[in-house]
Amino acid sequence: MLKVKDLAYFHKGDTGITEINFELQKGDHLAVIGESGCGKSTLIKSVYGFFDLQKGSVYWKDEEILGPAFNLVPGFRKFKHLSQEFDLMPFTTSEENIQKFLSRETPSQNKKRSDELIDLFDLEEVKHQKVKTLSGGQKQRVAIAQALANPPELILLDEPFSHIDQFLKHRLRRRLFQFLKKNKITCMFATHDAEDVLPFSDFTMILKDGKSIDFRPTFQVYNQPKNVYCASLFGDVNSLEASEFGLEGHQEKVLVYPHEIDIQENATYKGRIISSYFKGSHYLVEIDYKFTSIFATSKAEVYIGDEISFGLDKEKIMKRLN
C-alpha cells in the first residue's frame, strides 16, 4: 500500500534524511524512533507530501505522492498529518474543530461522529470551549479527534502524546491504536517514548543522522538490537564482554537489558550494589562487577553497599548472538 523508495530530502540547517526504503500494508502501524534531530519529523512530512524530494519516491497504492511544486495545498488528500503545532482554529470550539473537515450537508451525522470522538478522547468537558482556552494536552486530543473525524487511509502522527498528562496517556494510547486497528487505518508515528512503540507498533524504524539503521518487526528490533544506540532507545542497556559471562558466539560484546539480569542467592556472579532506584514493580539497581557497572532488576529492596550475587537469562541472550 505505502511504498517508500530511496527517499532523500535536505533543507537548510538540517541534516535531512537519505536512503529511506520501506513498505507498509493496509492497517500496519510503524513507529519511527531515534534521538532528537535524527530526521523523524522530516520523514513524516516527506511521506505526507509536504516537501519536494531531492531523490526517491513515495507511492500510496499506485499513486505517487508529490510535493508542493505539484500541489497548490501540500499534503496527500487520502492522508492526515498531525503536526506538533496541532493546526487548530483557536477562536472556535473543540466540537467545531473536530467537525471542520466533515460535509456541511449532513449536520446530524457530523454531530454523531464528533460525539463519538469526543467520548473516545475524553473531551466532553471542553467540547464547547474555544480552543485558545485549552491546555496543550487538551489541544492535542482535539487535534487527534479532528484528524480521525473523516477517517484517512493513512495517518501520520508526530509525537502524538507529548503534551498529554501521564494519567490520561495510557488509556488514550490504547483507545487510539485500537480505533486505528479496528478501522484498518495505516499509521506511521514519530515518538521518543518506548511506551508508544512496544505495545502498539507492528514495525519499528530507527533513524540516526537521517538514515534508517533498522527496519523490522518491533519484536525483533527490541529483542535483537543491532547496537547499543538501538537498544538504548528502549531504556537502559548493558554492553558486556561475551566471554566473561559464558556467552561466546559471533560477537565479543553482547547487549543485555536490565530485566535479563536477576539478583538471586547463590548465583554465579558476585558484585556490590552502588545505586538503587525504586520503579514501582521492581528496583533498578547498579552493580559494580569487576570494576564494570552493570544495571539489573530486583524485586526485593536492596541497599547501596550490599554484596549480592546475580545471574543472566542466557537462553534469551544467546539467541541474540546467533
**Tens-digit pLDDT profile for residues 170-221:** 999 999 999 999 999 999 999 999 999 999 999 999 999 999 999 999 999 9
Q: Does one domain contain both 128 and 259? A: no
Distance of alpha carbon 84 from alpha carbon 190, whole angstroms: 10
Q: What's the rounded Cα separation, in Å, for the pair 309 and 228?
A: 25
3-class DSSP assignment, residue 252: coil
CATH number for position 112: 3.40.50.300
Tens digit of each residue's pLDDT (9 = 90 or more) over 299-318: 999 999 999 999 998 888 88
- The pLDDT tens digits of the residues spanning 106-149 come to 888 888 999 999 999 999 999 999 999 999 999 999 999 999 99
Regarding whether 127 and 27 lie in a shared domain, the answer is yes
pLDDT digits (tens, 9 = 90+) for 221-253: 999 999 999 999 999 999 999 888 888 765 788
**Is 93 in the same domain as 212?**
yes
Average pLDDT of the segment spanning 66-89: 89
Region of poorest pLDDT, from 72-76, 101-105, 129-133: 101-105
Residues 74 and 131 in one domain: yes
pLDDT at 314: 83
Residue after which a domain boundary falls, among 227, 258, 283: 227
Please report which confidence band the pLDDT of residue 86 belongs to, taking 50, 70 and 90 as the band edges: confident
Nearest of 77, 71, 76, 101 to residue 87 by alpha carbon:
101
Q: What is the CATH number of the domain that holds 317?
A: 2.40.50.140
For residue 279, pLDDT over 80 is answered with yes
pLDDT at 203: 99
261-263 and 283-289 beta bridge pairing: unpaired
259 phi and psi, to 5 degrees? Answer: -70, -10
pLDDT at 166 over 70: yes
Sign of the dihedral through C-alpha 70, 73, 77, 83: positive
The span from the CA of 216 to the CA of 196, in Å, is 16
User: What is the model's pLDDT at position 72?
Assistant: 84
Q: Are residues 143 and 254 in the same domain?
A: no
What is the total count of domains within the chain? 2
Last residue of a domain, one of 184, 207, 227: 227
Residues 116 and 251 occupy one common structural domain:
no
Does residue 296 surpass a pLDDT of 70?
A: yes
| 13: pLDDT strictly greater than 70 | no
Note the pLDDT of residue 250.
Answer: 59
- The pLDDT, as a whole number, for residue 132 is 95
Instruction: Tell me: do 288 and 142 sit in the same domain.
Output: no
* Boundary of a domain, candidates 210, 227, 244: 227
Q: Give the pLDDT band of residue 322 (cuts 50, 70, 90).
A: low
Percent of the chain with pLDDT over 70: 98
Which pLDDT score, from 0 to 100, does residue 243 have? 86
- 118 with 244, same domain: the answer is no
C-alpha distances out from residue 89 to 33, 51, 126, 226, 266, Å:
29, 24, 15, 44, 64
Give the model confidence (pLDDT) of 20-49 as tens digits: 999 999 999 999 999 999 999 999 999 999
Are both 68 and 209 inside the same structural domain? Answer: yes
% of the chain at pLDDT higher than 90: 80
The stretch 258-279 carries a mean pLDDT of 94
User: Do 135 and 174 fall into the same domain?
Assistant: yes
State the pTM of this model: 0.93
Are 312 and 213 within one domain?
Answer: no
**What average pLDDT does the segment 162-171 reach?**
91
Instruction: Say if residue 152 is in the same domain as residue 176.
Output: yes
For residue 309, the enclosing domain spans 236-321
Instruction: Give the pLDDT of residue 192.
Output: 92
CB of 8 within 8 A of CB of 23? no
* Per-residue pLDDT, 249: 66
